[in-house]
Structure 1
């Protein structure tokens, strides 16, 4: 991936994380972090970077609470622990964007899009096999 494109994509993610840390986030910022969380997990599964199942499960819970809070009170934020968890994920994502081949990133992005379209991760995995 061209360096300028990696920088542009990663900057958007860092802006979303910072907005959520400052309590100035919105649905789009939370959605960006959700997509990054999933892509990070998929790329780690493909051998690019480290992400554990427990880390992703905890991050999913943190983000689910942020979505609930945002919908209920229009406060889109991460607490300090949530910020630390997602800062680690974003750092891994940055590494992956710099190191993973474009084909691996494209495959993970395609899997994310199919998941967003309603397919389960199990269905997506079966199609890869």
Structure 2
């Protein structure tokens, strides 16, 4: 005989807990772990011991920080974003040509500011905003600009 699938009788309560959790910032330990990865990549690139993965990490947080700022959490002006974009492009160009993945002092200062802003956003922005920014980044990486609709 087939086993029955246990269904919760409290689906409304589960939805309410989920909705409430989306209004709160992410758990501190998770935010700290994400921020630590960014700071490790930043330090590796500052020391000239970075990798393509480190450069990708900084590029992703540059985009996430911008998306969260657009949503009203933190700040990043257009000039700072453009400067960071040019710096990241230069790191990728040099890395591909010489296999040296490194930030100069100006780039390090710029990305330090972005990483600090990202830290604050992770600790203060509600989970729904971080989730939306992450989904937007995923669409950007995949080459899509519009959200995909789920099909039944």
Q: TM-score range by the shorter chain?
A: over 0.9
Q: Does residue 66 in structure 1 map to residue 91 in structure 2? A: yes
Q: Provide the rounded CA distance (Å) in 1 between the counterparts of 2:32 and 2:83.
A: 27
Q: TM-score of the superposition, structure 2-length normalised? A: 0.79
Residue matched to 2:122:
97
Return the offset for 1:112.
0.3
Q: CA deviation at 1:93?
A: 0.2
Match of 1:87 in 2: 112
Structure 1 unaligned regions, length at least 5: none
Q: Deviations over 1:13-38 (max 9, x none)?
A: 00000000000000000000000000
In 1, Cα distance between equivalents of 2:136 and 2:75 = 19
Residue pairs, 1:118-129, within 5 angstroms? 118-120=143-145, 123=146
- Larger Rg: 1 or 2? 2
> Does structure 1 residue 111 correspond to structure 2 residue 121?
no
TM (norm. structure 1) is 0.93
Equivalent residue in structure 1 for 2:45, among 14, 20, 27: 20
Runs of 4+ in 1 over 6 A off after TM superposition: none
Structure that is richer in helix per residue: 1
Coordinate RMSD, CA, aligned = 1.1
Q: How many residues align?
A: 123
